[in-house]
Amino acid sequence: MTSKIPVIIDCDPGQDDALMLFLALNAPELDVRGLVAVAGNVSMEKIKRNLAMLVDIVDRCDVPVFAGCNRPMVRELVTAEHVHGETGINGIELFEPNTQLQDRHGVDFIIAESRTAQDNEITIVATGPLTNIAMALVKAPEIADKIKQIVIMGGACFEGGNITPSAEFNIYVDPHACDVVLQCGRPIILFGLDVTHKVMTTQNRVEAIQAIGNPVSQIAASMLDFFGKHDSEKYSSGGAPLHDPCTVAWLLKPDLFKFKSCHVAVETMSELTMGHTAVDFWRVTGKKPNVEWACDIDADAFFQLLNERLSLY
Ligand code: BDR
Ligand code: CA
């Protein structure tokens, strides 16, 4: 057995973040060192509650949970209740979680956990705005050496934007944080809308998750039922793109995806194109690639993996 991948997960649940967590928190391949909340889909108060609830649902209260930044580095917070519902995880009933958040700030946890690691050891998975990751890199730049890779859901190229005509939500919410991360010099694996829009929660796929029949899969299916509604109408698609779990699916089964090495920069000045990721897909700038840009996925095999792992709960 190869050794487990040490992972820090930073997220803003969100139904698709929830599915990412379900995939990560029973994966024998991963050593999840901590979960950090970031404001994004909804306010930090709701994100903290949602994250604690999700940890309760999968019975992993041994994993420490931290609250990170409650707003982006420079801009005002923009949220996405129009997609995820008022709670951020509409589709399931709220309850008072037993999981308690740690006192330490999430950014300080990322720094401390990285500092004690070997060089090139820590994998960061980020499925919300990149605020906490950027703040950690700004506060303690020396931790960059400890980071093996940053696996991110964010950005868009050929697919266009989902919050403005050219920007994807996570990057739009904190483009300045994205800029810091893109320039940190560590390997970045970026799952943008070009690939996540190929992973649709069609009715058949949601029914198959429901049919697994354990409590976690039923909660997953009810969240996806709600999540599919807004996006089905928006994209005339019969489901929603299951964005965030692509990150963890890649750690578990890298062969599911195809990538192209590209230089990616982010717009931080223009209100019109704020948060647009300029993906140099055809290498016209001559700039050295800083990102592995996910461009394709075997979506059926992805759902097979998801269902296999959900059935283990
Ligand atoms: C991203 O934005 C959020 O609404 C989702 O959780 C996902 O991380 C997709 O653009
Ligand atoms: Ca998210």
H, E, C per residue of the chain: CCCCEEEEEEECCCHHHHHHHHHHCCCCCEEEEEEEECCCCCCHHHHHHHHHHHHHHCCCCCCCEEECCCCCCCCCCCCCHHHHCCCCCCCCCCCCCCCCCCCCCHHHHHHHHHHCCCCCCEEEEECCCCHHHHHHHHHCHHHHHHEEEEEEECCCCCCCCCCCCCECHHHHHCHHHHHHHHCCCCCEEEECHHHHCCCECCHHHHHHHHHHCCHHHHHHHHHHHHHHHHHHHHHCCCCCECCCHHHHHHHHCHHHEEEEEECEEECCCCCCCCCEEEECCCCCCCCCCCEEEEEEECHHHHHHHHHHHHCCC
Bridging pattern class, strands 264-266 and 147-153: unpaired
* Nearest ligand, measured from the Cα of 85: 1
41 Cβ closer than 6 Å to some ligand 1 atom? yes
Question: What size, in residues, is the chain?
Answer: 313
198 Cβ closer than 6 Å to some ligand 1 atom? no
CA of 143 to the centre of ligand 2 (A): 24
172 Cβ closer than 6 Å to some ligand 1 atom? no
Task: Give the range of the structural domain holding residue 286, as residue numbers without chain letter.
Answer: 5-310
CA of 54 to the centre of ligand 2 (A): 14
CA of 138 to the centre of ligand 1 (A): 24
Do residues 56 and 98 lie in contact, with contact meaning Cβ atoms separated by under 8 Å? yes
Give the CATH number of the domain where residue 43 resides: 3.90.245.10
pTM of the model: 0.97
Instruction: Ligand 1, residue 17: give the atom nearest the CA.
Output: 6
246 Cβ closer than 6 Å to some ligand 1 atom? no
Instruction: Ligand 1, residue 14: give the atom nearest the CA.
Output: 6
16 Cβ closer than 6 Å to some ligand 1 atom? yes
Which pLDDT score is estimated for 14?
97
CA of 162 to the centre of ligand 1 (A): 9
What is the distance between the alpha carbons of residues 273 and 167, in angstroms, rounded to a whole number?
Answer: 7
* Nearest ligand, measured from the Cα of 10: 2
Which pLDDT score is estimated for 1?
55
The total domain count for the chain is: 1
pLDDT by position in tens, the chain (length 313): 579 999 999 999 999 999 999 999 999 999 999 999 999 999 999 999 999 999 999 999 999 999 999 999 999 999 999 999 999 999 999 999 999 999 999 999 999 999 999 999 999 999 999 999 999 999 999 999 999 999 999 999 999 999 999 999 999 999 999 999 999 999 999 999 999 999 999 999 999 999 999 999 999 999 999 999 888 888 887 889 999 999 999 999 999 999 999 999 999 999 999 999 999 999 999 999 999 999 999 999 999 999 999 999 9
- Whether residue 243 lies in the annotated active site: yes
Mutate to test the pocket of ligand 1, among 127, 171, 173, 246 (most ligand atoms within 8 A of CB): 127
pLDDT in tens, 152-205: 999 999 999 999 999 999 999 999 999 999 999 999 999 999 999 999 999 999
